Structure 1
Amino acid sequence: MSEVLSEIVAAGVVQITMNRPDRKNALDRASYAGLIAAITAAEADATIRAILLTGAGGSFTSGNDIKDFAMAAATGEGARIAIDFLEVISTAKKPIVAAVEGFAVGIGTTMLLHCDLAFTARSATFRLPFVTLGLCPEGGSSYLLPLVAGSKKAAELLMLGEPFGPEAAAEAGLVNAVVEPGTALEAGLARAKTLAALPPESLALTKMLLKRGAATAVAETIGTEARHFAERLKSPEAMAAFMAFLKK
């Protein structure tokens, strides 16, 4: 079974699906490699005008696969491939629309900061549990989340690491709209179709201009966070948190 599925679902629209439903689409190294390949292929395909990102089995993604991450830390591999994915999604030139059902945890939430549009089901659950796991923010979230949510809300979400609902996600600027359970993909596809029908050069230019002011800061923040994240992966706090999680 492929960890990531890629299929044309409408004229000019490719749907990229995180596909580990038995693990709530937890992302391991193979999943990241699949996401990188799928987004890179969509970027290179002139017939693709918009990317629709979602998860299989009623969940977006429960975040990093802790067992896989613990193994990566033990072998010294760290989080490099996850950072590679974040660099790819944050610099994509084509519009990306996310459709969220179920869980959007950790990178499942931070990747939304790099999507152009996002829609969530009313039943979804978001969480940024980096501190809880002895880690630190990633994906440029320590820069982008205060920018869209405000410093106090960003501190609440990133420091406390508590679960929050779709309405809070909308208020924090993580999603455009909250829709009924089971309809997030439908809402996302409708917007992706609209984007795909627009003049592509004008659309790409508009996306570039929207991101231009923060692009350098985002890239620098992703790199800085990545260095600290790699160090934290090997820390006693993170190891203890991982072991406690794996014993559940």
Structure 2
Amino acid sequence: MSETVLSETVAEGVRRITMNRPDRRNALDRASYRALIDALAEAEAASDIRAIVLTGAGGCFTSGNDIKDFAAAGAAIPRVAIDFLEAISTARKPIVAAVEGFAVGIGTTMLLHCDLAFAGRGASFRLPFVTLGLCPEGGSSYLMPLVAGPKKAAELLMLGEAFDAQAALEAGLLNAVTEEGEALGIATRKAAALAALPPESIALTKALLKRGGAAAVAETIATEARHFGERLVSAEAQAAFAAFLGRR
């Protein structure tokens, strides 16, 4: 497994997948996306793995796409990011997210595809797509209104302002807010509890929960991806990227 993503069995039936670029606040570049896809596929295929914990190294979940890699990659980043989102949205085994620190952009939208999610009190969330001259991704324009309501979804996706863990809980992105530093422990215990249950029953329950919206989610991910790719090369996005990189 790539060093940008770590994958290890941490309890009976539980695989932990860790985004591991702490020097970049676990920003996701092309290599990271490919490694995440591979780690998910491996966990899905392993007969002894029944639940997955998704987290980030160094007290940070992920600061989102690596803008430097993103700006230089053209259409390559959206495709590999979409491949990851398709993988996480269609995973058969339960996924439990443990969030500390920053969860920016895809770091927030991927939570919409996790079955359970827990965050430390100090976690910070943001969906800065419009700020970067882009548009929503990961099925968020469909799923966010469902979990947060249309007005809150518009606020989060259009204004792109940062919000805290309590606001994320109220918006339906989390199951609970933990004390700072405790999200991973709680997420691992919940994953172990899931892993101890009858696996076929768990898989069927997850499939039934997702059945009603599965086609709409897949269609929305594809539609958003097309617009996202177009926005990526727009003058607005290129100016936003240049401004962001110039501040670093």
- TM-score in terms of structure 1 length: 0.98
Partners of 1:140 and 1:42 in 2: CA distance: 23
SS of residue in 2 equivalent to 1:178: strand
Runs of 4+ in 1 over 2 A off after TM superposition: none
Q: What is residue 104 of structure 1 aligned with on the other side?
A: 103
Q: What is residue 197 of structure 2 aligned with on the other side?
A: 198
Query: Which letter does structure 1 place at the counterpart of 2:62?
Result: T
Matches within 5 A, 1:82-231: 82-231=81-230
- Percent identity between the two aligned chains: 74
Query: Which letter does structure 1 place at the counterpart of 2:112?
Result: L
Cα distance, 1:77 vs structure 2 = 2.6
Q: Deviations over 1:46-66 (max 9, x none)?
A: 100000000000000000000
Partners of 1:2 and 1:122 in 2: CA distance: 28
Q: Deviations over 1:14-50 (max 9, x none)?
A: 0000000000000000000000000000000110000
SS of residue in 1 equivalent to 2:109: helix
Contact 2:30 2:77 in 1 (8 A): no
Partners of 1:6 and 1:92 in 2: CA distance: 16
In structure 1, stretches of 5+ residues that fail to align are none
Root-mean-square deviation (Å): 0.7
Q: What is residue 69 of structure 1 aligned with on the other side?
A: 70
Partners of 2:76 and 2:9 in 1: CA distance: 34
Query: Which letter does structure 2 place at the counterpart of 1:22?
Result: D
Partners of 2:11 and 2:186 in 1: CA distance: 14
Contact 1:78 1:233 in 2 (8 A): no
Cα distance, 1:147 vs structure 2 = 0.4
SS of residue in 2 equivalent to 1:247: helix
- TM-score in terms of structure 2 length: 0.98
Partners of 2:20 and 2:72 in 1: CA distance: 21
> What number of residue pairs does the alignment pair up?
246
Contact 1:5 1:17 in 2 (8 A): yes
Q: What is residue 241 of structure 2 aligned with on the other side?
A: 242
Partners of 2:43 and 2:23 in 1: CA distance: 26
Q: Deviations over 1:169-188 (max 9, x none)?
A: 00111010000001000010
